[in-house]
Amino acid sequence: QVQLVESGGGLVQAGGSLRLSCAASGSIFSINAMGWYRQAPGLQRELVAAITVGGTTNYADSVKGRFTISRDNAKNTVYLQMNSLKPGDTAVYYCTQVIRLLGRTTEDVYWGQGTQVTVSS
């Protein structure tokens, strides 16, 4: 099995910055995509940013120009640099990685436990 461990969440004032990280461990053969979702109270989980194995990135319109997703394949880690944070960014942020396990011919999606990001006014 695979475990994703997230870190970097916390409380920050509006305009501040946080850097989230998510490291995968387990019997991993390859990781072909990584991403971040978030879920605010009363709302459904939504995609924030994603990065493919080729380096192509996608961002939600609400975070373009403020958030940057990056990866370190050697460390099986994905990062989310969040700048100019707004109160509307307050949510639980979930890491996801699309992983092919050793001995398998198909890929599976794995999720982290979530890390709370709270942006105060």
Taking only the tens place, the pLDDT of each residue in 85-120 is 999 999 999 999 999 999 999 999 999 999 999 999
54 has pLDDT over 90: no
Looking at residue 1, its pLDDT comes to 81
Find all residues with CB under 8 Å of 115, minimum gap 6, and list them.
Answer: 6, 7, 8, 9, 20, 92, 93
Tens-digit pLDDT profile for residues 67-76: 999 999 889 9
Cα–Cα distances in Å, from 34 out to 9, 16, 87?
18, 24, 25
Q: How sure is the predictor about 32, in pLDDT bands with cuts at 50, 70 and 90?
A: confident
Q: Look at residue 53 in the predicted model and tell me its pLDDT.
A: 85
Q: Tell me the mean pLDDT in the region 17-22.
A: 98
Dihedral of alpha carbons 71, 53, 110, 95, sign: positive
Q: What is the pLDDT of residue 66?
A: 98
| Secondary structure tally for the chain: helices H, strands E | 0, 11
